[in-house]
Structure 1
């Protein structure tokens, strides 16, 4: 009897604590969901909800204020009809042309320059600890600051040209920022200056992650430095190239503030990118449907770039 009593006495406290332990464990499991719920709801409403709303408006005839009557793809037809007219009343043709020029040069030069700087720093040169933050510093600045700084530097009456004239080189002229045919290239210069250091850091991390034994084995086999980088190092950096391309393409497509701060849109809107077109027509020219259509096209472009990248990253690796 005493044994049974002792057993019951020892089991009773455990039995009493089980409900509270169960409630505590449930609260611990639910706490992350409770904490993340407000931000998740805000993301659903203010990101995906407004994306759907923008797509809806692109199929209406909205002007200054939203119109909820569906009119079909008229906004898209107007947008592309203006593109192929000889004298379009918009700058959509200019915007997509500039996007092609800016996107290609910006991505290509940043990749090439970033890889070169990463290879240079990977040689364990003196002063690497000083050079790294210098290269990375521009990325810490906003596009507004970068645009204003380069606007001062490239202004013919204030920056580089004026300084060289004061030094006696009066034949030097560099008026790209005021030339409608070359103004987009000043945006490329400022963009490359800001992003190449960040790309350098990505490539440097990739280089430092390569197994040194592979490099030593190739050198023992008689591989030259050029062959080493061409046949071993650069192929191993393929994931870094892909990630850098995605980052740069995303920055290029949404580069609105850099264009505004640097060129104010350029002479006659000659420096416009699709993001500038979308803002101008939505909020200044009272063509909300056309602006929404251009925003949807930008979204489709970004999706076409990001989805293949996500697919390559998330797909199951073959065993």
Structure 2
């Protein structure tokens, strides 16, 4: 009996499917299970109910880290969308030196969050960075010491993140603007509609699927902001710029509290699932409209 190409393809995919099911989804289920145990250095099977979650929610460092997820995420996504949209509109309007601007704003995307964090850490270093350079020019009172302020350090993460990702939003939205039928613009000119109103009421609603795509990509970067935090602030001063991912890693490997770290990972997973479900709902409503 001859083996069909379809059967061969399915057979070849079996190892990949097994690795995905066992390695990925199996690890998720294992982590969720550990969150209901008092595991310390090594996993144990003793049932602890919701004790780890109660302990987690009463931990000040987790409260700060979880809050920072929304503070950083909201500001990062908001400013990336705003900056990317303005840049895309400028390019769509045929600004002079368009290719130069595209290169400048696209360059940061080629860098990892680790490199981005290190670059901004050097730039904001009060003794060797921008503050020292400006003071060497004669402005002795100039101060840009953001990294040592617990209240302002979180905003350095936002600045570095927006610098890194605004170009990605620009490219996606610019591609959408380029696909808009020119007949729409001609009809707007015939009706005497100003360009800013055309963008606001006609063109931008057409780009809603691309905006949702940007939301998903930026949201993934928020969840993966561990690299940026470690490279730029290290979670400090104190733990003022901590994020859930760093909290989880530290409690897994440094504080040997596997049960608590698993509870934090499970809560982070639930948060991500809920947020992306809301994004999916927004996308469906946009398509229906």
SS at match of 2:58: helix
1:43: Cα distance to partner? 1.5
Asked which structure has the greater CA Rg, the reply is 1
Equivalent position to 2:10, from 20, 25, 33: 33
Residue 55 (structure 1) aligned with residue 32 (structure 2)? yes
Distance of aligned partners of 1:313 and 1:245 in 2 relative to their CA distance in 1, 3 Å threshold: closer
Partner of 2:62: 92
User: 1:149-192: per-residue Cα shift (whole Å, max 9, x none)?
Assistant: 11000010110000001111111001111111111111111101
Q: Which runs of 5+ in 1 are unaligned?
A: 1-18, 83-87
Partner of 1:211: 181
Preserved contact between residue 278 and residue 291 of structure 1 (Cα < 8 Å): yes
Q: Measure the CA separation in 2 of the matches of 1:159 and 1:39.
A: 48
Q: Normalising by the residue count of structure 1, what TM-score does the alignment of the two structures yield?
A: 0.85
Q: Measure the CA separation in 2 of the matches of 1:225 and 1:199.
A: 21
Partner of 2:87: 117
Equivalent position to 2:142, from 147, 169, 172: 172
1:246: Cα distance to partner? 1.6
Partner of 2:253: 283
Q: Measure the CA separation in 2 of the matches of 1:62 and 1:298.
A: 19
Equivalent position to 2:50, from 66, 73, 88: 73
Q: Measure the CA separation in 1 of the matches of 2:88 and 2:284.
A: 27
Preserved contact between residue 246 and residue 305 of structure 1 (Cα < 8 Å): no
Preserved contact between residue 119 and residue 204 of structure 1 (Cα < 8 Å): yes
1:313: Cα distance to partner? 6.2
Q: Measure the CA separation in 1 of the matches of 2:195 and 2:172.
A: 21
Q: Normalising by the residue count of structure 2, what TM-score does the alignment of the two structures yield?
A: 0.94
Q: Measure the CA separation in 2 of the matches of 1:119 and 1:313.
A: 22
User: 1:278-311: per-residue Cα shift (whole Å, max 9, x none)?
Assistant: 1111211111111111111111111112234446
Partner of 2:170: 200
Residue 137 (structure 1) aligned with residue 81 (structure 2)? no
Preserved contact between residue 37 and residue 45 of structure 2 (Cα < 8 Å): yes
1:267: Cα distance to partner? 1.5
Distance of aligned partners of 1:237 and 1:220 in 2 relative to their CA distance in 1, 3 Å threshold: same
Equivalent position to 1:225, from 195, 219, 225: 195
Q: Which runs of 5+ in 2 are unaligned?
A: none
Matches within 5 A, 1:176-195: 176-195=146-165
Equivalent position to 1:267, from 237, 257, 260: 237
Partner of 2:277: 307
Partner of 1:238: 208
Preserved contact between residue 152 and residue 158 of structure 1 (Cα < 8 Å): yes
Preserved contact between residue 63 and residue 286 of structure 1 (Cα < 8 Å): yes
1:244: Cα distance to partner? 1.0
- Total equivalences in the alignment: 287
1:199: Cα distance to partner? 0.8
1:57: Cα distance to partner? 0.4
User: 1:222-263: per-residue Cα shift (whole Å, max 9, x none)?
Assistant: 100111111101111111121111211221122101000011
* RCO comparison, higher one (Cα < 8 Å, 6+): 2
